[in-house]
Structure 1
Amino acid sequence: MSSSHAGIGKWGEVLTIVPIVAAGFATIVYLLRLYSRRLGGTGLATEDFLMGIGLLLSYGATVFVVYTAFNGVGMPSSSLPKWKETNLRFGSWMIQKFWAPSMAFIKISIVVFLQRIMGPIGIFRNICTALIVFIVAWAVTALMGNIFQCWPVTYYYKPYGKGHCMSHQTSFFETMGALSLIVDVCILCLPMPWVLRLHVDLKKKIAVVCIFSMGALVCIFSLLRLVQFRYFLTTNLASSSALESIWTILEMDMAVICGCMPLLTPLFRKCVDRVRTTTSKSTPHSNSHSASRLYARSGSNPSPHWAKFERLGGVDSKTPPHSEASGSRNRQDPLSRQGHNGDELDDDSSIELQGIAVHTVVSLSVESHKSAKDLLEKGSAVEPAK
Structure 2
Amino acid sequence: MLNSGVVINEFGLPSNPAEDDGPRILGATLAITILALITYSTRLYVRLVMVRNVGLDDYFMSFAMAMCVAGQGVIWGSIVYGAGRHMGDIPLEHLPTGLKLNFISQPIYLIAICVTKLAVGATLLRIASTKFYRHLILGIMGFMSFYTIGCFFTVVLQCTDIRALWDQSIPQNCWSQSTLKGLSYTNVTLNILTDLLLALVIPIPMLWHLNVNRRTRFSLIFALSLGAFACAAAFIKVGFLVNYGKTGDWLWDSRDISIWTVMECNTGIIAGSLPALRPLFKKILGTSLGYGKASSGGGKITGSGYFRQDTLQSKSRTKSVLKSKSANDDTSSERAFNFYELNDTKNHTTGTAVEKFPAQTGPTSFFAVDARSSDESIDKLPAAASGPSRGTTPGITKTTTTTVDYISREV
Class of the TM-score when normalised by the shorter of the 2 chains: 0.7 to 0.9
Paired position in structure 1 for 2:138? 129
Which digits, 9 at most, give the CA deviation of each residue in 1:163-212, with x for residues without a partner? Answer: 22101222222222222221211212222211122355554433232122
Structure 2: distance between partners of 1:83 and 1:252: 32
Q: Is the 8 A contact 1:106 1:256 kept in 2?
A: yes
Paired position in structure 1 for 2:162? 153
Choose which of 263, 279, 298 in structure 1 pairs with 2:309.
298
Q: RCO greater where, 1 or 2, for CA within 8 Å and sep 6 or more?
A: 1
Paired position in structure 2 for 1:312? 340
| Amino acid of the structure 2 residue aligned with 1:310 | N
Choose which of 210, 227, 235 in structure 2 pairs with 1:223.
235
| Amino acid of the structure 2 residue aligned with 1:46 | L
| Amino acid of the structure 1 residue aligned with 2:134 | R
Paired position in structure 2 for 1:176? 187
Which digits, 9 at most, give the CA deviation of each residue in 1:276-332, with x for residues without a partner? Answer: 99x99xxxxxxxx7697996463898976544433333x15x859xxxxxx89x544
Instruction: Give the number of equivalent residue pairs.
Output: 324
Structure 1: distance between partners of 2:308 and 2:191: 47
Structure 2: distance between partners of 1:179 and 1:62: 24
Partner SS for 1:166: coil
Structure 1 residue 109, shift from structure 2 partner: 1.6
Q: Is the 8 A contact 1:265 1:312 kept in 2?
A: no
Partner SS for 2:31: helix
Structure-2-length-normalised TM-score: 0.69
Q: Is the 8 A contact 2:71 2:109 kept in 1?
A: yes
Q: Which runs of 5+ in 1 are unaligned?
A: 1-6, 281-288, 321-326, 342-356, 368-386
Choose which of 98, 107, 121 in structure 2 pairs with 1:97.
107
Structure 2: distance between partners of 1:296 and 1:175: 50
Structure 1 residue 335, shift from structure 2 partner: 7.6
Structure 1: distance between partners of 2:145 and 2:271: 20
Partner SS for 1:82: coil
Structure 2: distance between partners of 1:112 and 1:305: 16
Q: Which runs of 5+ in 2 are unaligned?
A: 1-16, 293-299, 311-320, 326-331, 359-368, 377-411
Structure 2: distance between partners of 1:29 and 1:164: 44
Which digits, 9 at most, give the CA deviation of each residue in 1:333-353, with x for residues without a partner? Answer: 348999xx9xxxxxxxxxxxx
Structure-1-length-normalised TM-score: 0.73
Cα distance change, pair 83–8 in 1 and its aligned pair in 2 (3 A): farther
Choose which of 170, 188, 198 in structure 2 pairs with 1:187.
198
Q: Is the 8 A contact 2:128 2:333 kept in 1?
A: no
Which digits, 9 at most, give the CA deviation of each residue in 1:18-48, with x for residues without a partner? Answer: 2222222211211111211134433321221
Q: Is the 8 A contact 1:297 1:337 kept in 2?
A: no
Q: Which has the higher strand share?
A: 2
Partner SS for 1:298: strand
Choose which of 210, 215, 218 in structure 2 pairs with 1:206.
218
Structure 2: distance between partners of 1:253 and 1:9: 27
| Amino acid of the structure 2 residue aligned with 1:312 | Y
Cα distance change, pair 111–231 in 1 and its aligned pair in 2 (3 A): same
Q: Is the 8 A contact 1:8 1:71 kept in 2?
A: no
Choose which of 36, 48, 58 in structure 1 pairs with 2:58.
48
Cα distance change, pair 9–331 in 1 and its aligned pair in 2 (3 A): farther
Cα distance change, pair 297–193 in 1 and its aligned pair in 2 (3 A): closer
Q: Is the 8 A contact 1:50 1:109 kept in 2?
A: yes
Structural RMSD (CA): 3.6
Partner SS for 1:165: coil
Paired position in structure 2 for 1:22? 32
Paired position in structure 2 for 1:266? 279
1:239 equivalent to 2:252? Answer yes
Structure 1 residue 213, shift from structure 2 partner: 0.8
